[in-house]
Structure 1
Amino acid sequence: MKKTFMVTFLLSAVAMALEAAGHGEGHNAIPFEQIGWQAANLGILLIALFFFLRKSVIEAFANRRTAFLSQAEKTKAALKNAEAALQEIKTKLATLESGEGKAIENAKHESNLAKAHIIHESEVHAEKMKADLQLTLKNELEKAKSEINNLILTQAISFVTKKINDKSSQVSQGAEAAFLNQISQVKS
């Protein structure tokens, strides 16, 4: 940068010298007086700029450096957070992938347990229904037997009553005839 500045400064001095030659002062005459005043003015300007702008330029570059370093720290922190989040996601993904087989196995095991529980409950319910049905059939059979026995007993009683009535009427007619026969024998 310094070399570029020096080359530009020297070339501008040569260019100004050549320009002055074109105004009729002569081709070989170098206007040292003008160049000296211009160089002095430039030097004063640079010194003034240096003294007046030195602190503000230094502060501006220091602030810029501080802002840049602050932004760099924020970027580093964000990068670390992003890397930590990426690692956490990779860990979770690996856990999920390895846990996928376990989850399927657990689901199958739980479904088999639920299936066995449902089968057991249905068997218990079927046994209970079977026992209830047998008890109901036994009660209905006893009820039917009781009704049949009552019907048989009723018919037997009515038959016996009829027979007794028939026999008693025959016995009473036979006894009456025998009584009349005995009375007629006694009369005779």
Structure 2
Amino acid sequence: MTTDPLVSTDWLAAHINDSNVKILDASFKLPGVLPLPKDDYLAAHLPGAVFFDVDAVSDHSNPLPHMYPSAEQFGRDIGNLGIANSDTVVLYDAGGWVAAPRAWWMFLAFGHGNVRILNGGLKKWRAEGRAIESGEVKPKPASFKASYDPKRVRSMQQLIANVESRAEQVIDARAAERFEGR
């Protein structure tokens, strides 16, 4: 396995039935955009893929959306998706958003380095005529121990301090319209 954060559709097709390769559909849409990502997943997803719901795998005590959960909750939620620490996790999304890379970073922040993103996502997989499934995949729960690495996440206070210090480069990966508030 490579350390490249991306895997090709050819690689995944060759390893899709490996018992230690777990596939997650991490698709996300802004609130109010329909159909819901879960409904899209139920209609069509990669064989064996489980839905990664960023709203469910978040800190529910925080009023802000999608905030990182505790390591304990992340471990429990990811274990319930059938993923163990020894597994290779392959994430994809339906495209048009940075959902799979965001989930990839979450896995890294919680100590799981064996995580990859499917290059081209669901759109490329389908364009190549590869198999898809519908309906929900119910994984067998596994044990996943998460350990939070605070060096991979910045607080609002750290971002504000960085405005003055300029010690780190900040990149906003949102689409131009969203970045500009349109």
Regarding TM over 0.5, the answer is no
TM bucket, shorter chain: under 0.3
Q: Report the structure, 1 or 2, having the larger helix content.
A: 1
The higher relative CO (CA closer than 8 Å, separation ≥ 6) is in 2
**Which protein is bigger by CA-based radius of gyration?**
1
The TM-score with structure 1 as length reference comes to 0.17
Q: Report the structure, 1 or 2, having the larger strand content.
A: 2
The TM-score with structure 2 as length reference comes to 0.17
